[in-house]
Structure 1
Amino acid sequence: MNYRLQQKITRICWVVGLAALAIPFVFPFIWMLSGALKGQADVFASASLIPQTIHWSNFSEVFSYQPFARQYFNSLYIAVIVTTLTLFLSSMAGYALARLRFAGSALVLLLLISALMMPEEVTIIPNFFLMRELGLMNTHMPLILLPLFGSQGVMATFLMRQFFLALPKELEEAGRMDGLSRFGVYFKVALPLSKPALSAVGIITFLFSWNLFLEPLVFVNDIKLFTLPLALANFTDTYGLPLWHLQLAATALAVIPMLIVYILAQRQIVESFALSGVKG
């Protein structure tokens, strides 16, 4: 057996093995699409993934049952704002922690990392009283501020710090010799080189904000202000039982932005996690 044939057989075995391992991860997604095209009585009545009758009307009924388009837009614009602000603040904070030496910098980093160990369920009560005192209840501001300055923002800052630590200092010193200020070095040298880390932080932050459930449940009670996680749980009948065909159809629509974001940035997120552990 020549080397080329052996290499081809090895590649085929790898593809078959990885395809088999992917089945448990892909099957729930296929089942969701199948249920989204079935009637309410057929979702659990048959184990077949191919609907006997395709109900395309499920997708239009989703928008007539509640203001789903408005809720979709709520999740979208909140995720975009949170992602944009997190990229801006975490990149600046991460660069400062990686390059600037000031009194208490190690303590600041320790406090930030310790914030990652605090479950959201522990901080939700003081955050509730804080937002109530600020008059921000039943608004989208808590859904923007809490991820930005909470554990998600801390994780983004830590990732950016790790990436900036791995950048050669010689590149920044060359910028300083050209007359750039510290902010100029950050903006014109370090920031353009941090695209892999920014992509990773962006996709993680976007997905975190898109899937946020506890904070909207606590701070929002107007159905027009609901985000998608709350909207999905709101597809129920008069007895409070889930309308599975509508929930699955709405979930299929809600997954689309996440798939787009991940497909566009999957290479950058892998590269960033590989580089984030180079220096500590």
Structure 2
Amino acid sequence: MRRRRRIKPFMAVRYALLILGLVVTVIPMFYMVISSLKSNKSTFSYPPQLFPNPHEITLENYVYIFRHVSFLKYLGNTLFTALMTVLLSAVISSVLAYSFARFKFPGKSLFYGMIISVMLIPGLAMIIPQFEMAVRFGMVNHLWGVILFYSAWVTPFSTFLLKGYIEDNIPRELDEAIYMDGGSIYSVYLFVIMPMASPAIAAISILNYLFPFEELGWSQTILKSDEIRTLPVAITMFFQAHNRTDWGYVFAMTSLSMVPVVLFYLALQKYFISGLSSGSIKG
């Protein structure tokens, strides 16, 4: 007879902690989605019901936000901001990472240290000088005023990750092969660095794509017009526009705002996992 495997105490504790972390993470999201399917009156019921009765489920909150809140307009602004932030940060950080990983030039360590040190400074700590820059360059109340600053915020961390990935996983012999065939540093970047670093770029793109969906301080400061507000600002203004908080509407907007993030992650999931696993093995 086969012996039954005994779960070691350490493994049992680890699994218990993992399950606890999963529950703590999932339950608030589950409660939010369920509450968005209930009427506002049911949302305020006490004690709260995690599993409502089937007859209480309704789509009135979603109908309201599509008819009265211009949700699609806010979603479009957020999607445009997120995609432009992903594109700009991917190009800038990949060029910087390629330069720091492959070339030697005066002040290299100093410049790299300056870029990395920016990660230690919270973005909102620089909100006053940033706002003065936005006013000077005419970017107040423009989506590009949000996009450019978001790209600047996420570029240092993206550069840090990409530099390590290039050094550990892309052999220099591939660069030399391009040079021997008459290629230039631009050819190496386009035909070696970008294709082979695509898993790492996908990984940072997922993180950078999420940023405009959750950042509020800067976007609320610089976006004044209702026509260009992003979802975090729109949800905040929804609180201020009503005498009381209609949580059903808020939960419906928040639940729908998660859909583009989940779809983007699912589209790049393969590359995201590949980037994480490849990054742990030195080439």
Tell me the TM-score normalised to structure 1 length. Answer: 0.89
Match of 1:163 in 2: 165
Contact 1:199 1:269 survives alignment (8 Å): yes
Contact 2:37 2:58 survives alignment (8 Å): yes
Structure 1 unmatched ranges of 5 or more: 8-12
Runs of 4 or more consecutive aligned structure 1 residues displaced over 4 Å after TM superposition: 16-21, 273-279
Amino acid at match of 1:252: S
Output the CA distance in 1 between the equivalents of 2:270 and 2:31: 27
Q: Does 1:122 align with 2:125?
A: yes
Change (3 A) 1:55 1:234: farther
Q: 1:100 aligns with which of 94, 99, 103?
A: 103
SS in 1 for 2:238: coil
Shift of 1:88: 1.3
Shift of 1:197: 0.5
Amino acid at match of 2:86: T
Output one character per residue of 1:23-62: Cα deviation in whole Å (capped at 9) or x when no partner: 2211111101111011112113142223341221210101
Amino acid at match of 2:191: K
| 1:30-179 correspondence runs (5 A) | 30-46=30-46, 47-52=48-53, 53-150=56-153, 152-166=154-168, 167-179=170-182
Shift of 1:215: 1.3
Shift of 1:236: 3.4
Q: 2:229 aligns with which of 226, 231, 255?
A: 226
Change (3 A) 1:238 1:215: closer
Contact 2:97 2:160 survives alignment (8 Å): yes
Output the CA distance in 1 between the equivalents of 2:234 and 2:29: 19
Output the CA distance in 1 between the equivalents of 2:147 and 2:88: 9
Output the CA distance in 2 between the equivalents of 1:239 and 1:67: 16
Output the CA distance in 1 between the equivalents of 2:112 and 2:171: 21
Contact 2:215 2:232 survives alignment (8 Å): yes
Shift of 1:73: 0.3
Shift of 1:119: 1.2
Cα RMSD after superposing both structures: 2.7
Residue identity (%) = 27
SS in 1 for 2:45: coil
Change (3 A) 1:277 1:100: farther
Structure 2 unmatched ranges of 5 or more: 7-11
Change (3 A) 1:35 1:199: same
SS in 2 for 1:234: helix
Q: Does 1:209 align with 2:212?
A: yes
Q: Does 1:196 align with 2:194?
A: no
Output one character per residue of 1:175-234: Cα deviation in whole Å (capped at 9) or x when no partner: 222221111011111211111111111101101122221111100111121100111223
Figure out how many residues of one structure are paired with residues of the other and give that number.
Answer: 276
SS in 2 for 1:116: helix
Contact 2:39 2:60 survives alignment (8 Å): no
SS in 2 for 1:253: helix
Amino acid at match of 2:185: R
Output the CA distance in 1 between the equivalents of 2:124 and 2:178: 45
Contact 1:90 1:157 survives alignment (8 Å): yes
SS in 1 for 2:211: helix
Match of 1:10 in 2: none
Shift of 1:115: 0.7
SS in 2 for 1:233: helix
Match of 1:253 in 2: 256
Output the CA distance in 1 between the equivalents of 2:144 and 2:241: 31
Tell me the TM-score normalised to structure 2 length. Answer: 0.88
